[in-house]
Amino acid sequence: MSNPVIVGAARTAVGTANRGTLANTPAEELAVAVLKETVRRSGLDPQRFDDVIFAESMYGGGVLARHAAVAAGMLSVPGQAVNRHCAGSLTAIGAAAASVKSGMESAIIAGGVQSSSLSPKLRQRVPGTTNHFQDPWMPVTHPFQENAPADDMSISVGWNTAQHVGLSRNQMDEWAFRSHQRAIEAIDGGYFEDEIFPITVKNARGELVQFSVDEHPRRGSSLEKLASLRPIHPEIEGFSITAGNASGVNDAAAAVAVTSAELARDEGLSPLATIRAWTAVGVDPALMGMGGVLAIPRALSKAGLEVKDVDVWEINEAFAAVPLAACKELGIDDAIVNIHGSGCSIGHPVAASGARMVNTLIRDLQRRGGGIAVASMCAGGGMGGALVIEV
């Protein structure tokens, strides 16, 4: 079996949905752009790739990966759509790694694309009616709040996780504030420049602009401002989740080129990272945030590693409660978690977030001279995913 390696990695900057720079850029355009750039960075001929696997989340079909392959002139390369909600692009990378490791394929582009600004809205007819529609979602009985809506992430991910492990609002606000500080420091220090490629798009006024800097982190954030925000559910006593300690709603695309170690050697390529392990878990949808916690020991076990072996982490801040819970439950040193921010600051372009995290972690390890990194996140419907890489 061949070791799967990453030979190219790229992402767009992350836009704020509906009012940001990518608000009028369709997912198809983002998909084509990130595919072309990742192929270019890989150093391989575009026709050398066996597949393109892109995550989509509630996109409504169409297989963005195949659309992008055709638009990029890669007519002989098929495309595959993956949906594991927030963990979709981690799953896409894992699927690529599995196919390469098995020997069935030798070169795959994997990642995810999210246009929250323009994605279709999924609806279905309510049984027994002709003109009423609802979002399809998971049946959930919430342990900490009766009659809570099943699809309210602020409850099933944020509040329930905080209640489950005993987190205060102040702890979550402090984490979110630190996330913004770290993201701004990373932007100012140029830490994201190697992973982001500029994309030219039309802004809200129809003007062509170049977009190359994450726009969601808030320079004016403060603990005082975060503390002043109204809870999302003030009717629930003690509710501690606010827009400030939750992730953003965002647009972006991110991908990596996965090949066999042998192909990289034969083509004279220098791998950026080796993919050591990947996994997904299912959890009670009412405790969705714990999916990002429970995926970690499972992935580490598959790699033959322990928490102490990991040099840097990104545990997605779907809500600040998730990385806080992981640190508390697994004994992780929070100083090496989300060292350049995460969902609360950079944002959470759902289907693209996992691949964005892997892009960032590769560069983090390179600056450290190598090591082990873990990307982990919870996912809609009561799931979680994790990926282990080594540089």
- The set of catalytic residues is 86, 348, 378
Q: How far is CA 187 from the centre of its chain?
A: 18
Angle between helix axes 350-368 and 88-102 (nearest 10 degrees) is 70
Contacts for 150-156: CB closer than 8 Å, 24+ residues apart: 150/285, 152/233, 153/246, 153/288, 153/318, 153/319, 153/380, 154/232, 154/233, 154/241, 154/246, 154/319, 155/233, 155/241, 156/285, 156/286, 156/287, 156/288, 156/289, 156/382
d(CA 7, CA 11): 14
Tokens 């190697």, residue located: 194
189: tokens are 């220090």
Q: How far apart are CA 356 and CA 255, in angstroms?
A: 7
Residue that has been written with the tokens 């009717």 in this structure? 235
As a whole number of angstroms, the distance between CA 111 and CA 134 comes to 29
Q: Which residues contact 141 (CB under 8 A, 6 or more apart)?
A: 286
